[in-house]
Amino acid sequence: MLNFLPSNLVGVIAVLLLSVNVLVWVSILFVFSLPKFLLPIPSLRRVLNRILHWIGENWIAGNSGWMRLTQKTEWDVQGVEGLNYDGWYLVVSNHQSWVDILVMQHLLNRRIPLLKFFIKRELIRVPLMGFAWWALDYPFLYRHSSEYLEKHPEQKGKDFEATRRACEKFAEIPTSVMNFLEGTRFTKEKHARQKSEYNSLLRPKAGGLALAMNVLGEKFNSLLDITIFYPDGVPTFWEFLCGKVKRITVRMKTIEIPQHLMHGDYEEDPAFRDVMHKWVQQLWKDKDMEIQTLREKA
């Protein structure tokens, strides 16, 4: 623990440790990712995917190491019992801060298969990280607005096609497909602009989730529904690095996915789309109530 040091110095140390961890594991990742893409042999690809996942898990373990060294956080976690490392999971969560990702990776590493996030396509340009996400088969999405698609109809469907290709790759090895259904981090400004009917959440988007179910429905063991709450206020990433996040509350629920949602056509079937929306909206109503309960107890 480095809590005896000034918080900004703790933040600098955390950044250095995070950076070293990235450089070490991304370098190793590069070595094993090259043959995967230069020699697209299915049997070799399956072996290399397992090695790349092992590298990813060790990378996350390194992050957990510097977190334990630099943070003095009180964790209140429920729902990690009984998770299956050898299964396929759909994972959904509310989204408030970049810290959310480290929280989930820290708690779920080696409890379920490596988390694969839906990532905005422009983030592929991020040095080192963009390559790492690409090498680990993270799905990159365009996420065009409805206004943009009206002006550029030729772009319609590209996100669904990218998601479909990524999910087909996930069939080769146990994977956890992670989706922030809100599509962006929650802020009061976004909440007001959207006129969300939820008190603590933005409106969920069901398309990516529906497509993942369509492609890999029979593979998924269940849906892991995660609620993250920061009792002392949502932290910035820098505040987290500086060790200023004293309490983190996480609730996880394993939910059986209804069979009738497994293989529906979200794009072309309005009736299925309506059923899917209602199911996701109920998930979000329950999550909103849970956040309110946690807030009252904080």
pLDDT of res. 154: 61
| pLDDT tens digit sequence for 20-50 | 999 999 999 999 998 888 887 888 888 898 9
Q: Do the Cβ atoms of 269 and 182 come closer than 8 Å?
A: no
| pLDDT tens digit sequence for 169-218 | 777 788 898 989 998 899 999 999 999 999 999 999 888 788 788 777 67
Q: Give CA–CA dist 48/55, Å, rounded.
A: 10
- pLDDT for 138 beyond 90: no
pLDDT of res. 137: 83
Can you spell out the DSSP letters for 42-100?
HHHHHHHHHHHHHHHHHHHHHHHHHHHHH---EEEEE--TT--TTSEEEEEE----THH
Q: Which of 59, 207, 213 is nearest to 141 (CA)?
A: 207
| pLDDT tens digit sequence for 151-179 | 656 656 666 666 677 677 777 788 898 98
Q: Which of 75-79, 87-91, 108-112, 216-220 has the lowest mean pLDDT?
A: 216-220
| pLDDT tens digit sequence for 230-287 | 999 999 999 999 999 999 999 999 998 888 888 888 878 899 999 999 999 999 999 9
Predicted TM-score (pTM) of the model is 0.89
| pLDDT tens digit sequence for 46-82 | 889 899 999 999 999 999 999 999 998 999 999 999 8
Residue owning tokens 């009206």: 150
Q: One-letter amino acid identity for 126?
A: V
pLDDT of res. 181: 92
Can you spell out the DSSP letters for 131-167?
HHHHHTTPPEE----HHHHHH-GGGTTHHHHHHHHHH
- pLDDT for 146 beyond 60: no
| Domains observed in the chain | 74-297 (3.40.1130)
Mean pLDDT of the chain: 88
